[in-house]
Amino acid sequence: MFFYNLKYLIWVSPAILLMLWAKWRISSTYRRGMDVPAGLSGAAAARHILDTHGLSDVEVEETPGHLSDHYDPSSRVVRLSSAVFRGRTATAVGIAAHEVGHALQHAQNYGPMVLRSMAVPAAQFGSWAFMGLLLAGMFFSSPKLMILGVACFGITVVFQLINLPVEFNASTRAKQILTEMGIVDEGEGSRAVRQVLGAAALTYVAGTLESLLTLMYYASEFSGNRDSDSA
């Protein structure tokens, strides 16, 4: 197919390899961190950090799924997967503290998070419009529609670039807070938290790189086709 030909796979292969490495890393560090005990469960750690920072109105809820942890800014709820919610391990408190980091960003109007929230509707539209315009351009043999589709996909790439500092900052906050509050020790516990959050960060980098390389691939393809048509 046009979307997944060999040339495209070669273009995005660095991102694919990085994503495979990141997924292996997060799986292995997640398991290792689950063997490192912590003084609190993920839910208790999240609640303690929120209350200490004056965010007692932010709820902490259990949610089904594996690695389904997230912060919902619209309802101001930290949702933690069962293993994280109930686990008294370095992995559990590390992931919980990362999601609480997003709640702290939201409360403090952290610049990149404000931009990310503003960009969500545009990114959702860009992802949908990219595929629709690309297919329409192919069907009607219209390079202009395909180029417009690629431009829309660029909005999604910008969103992912904005998202990177949001995720990195949440992890930085988590590591610092967990140590300062004594939820993990400065030895094995802190090291396990750094490893699992570092592996999680790699997945965001890989996803952004894949989108960026995809954008470059289609831009190159359409630029080459336009040059050959005008020759």
List active site positions. 99
Which long-range contacts link 219-222 to residues 24+ away (Cβ below 8 Å)?
A: 219/150, 222/143, 222/146, 222/147, 222/150
Q: Give the 3-state DSSP-derived string for the chain, with helices as H, strands as E and coil as C.
A: CCCCCHHHHHHHHHHHHHHHHHHHHHHHHHHHHCCCECCCCHHHHHHHHHHHCCCCCCEEEEECCCCCCEEECCCCEEEEEHHHHHCCEHHHHHHHHHHHHHHHHHHCCCHHHHHHHHHHHHHHHHHHHHHHHHHHHHHCCCHHHHHHHHHHHHHHHHHHHHHHHHHHHHHHHHHHHHHHCCCCCCCHHHHHHHHHHHHHHHHHHHHHHHHHHHHHHHHHHHHHHHHHHHC
Q: CA quadruple 91, 97, 99, 105: dihedral positive or negative?
A: negative
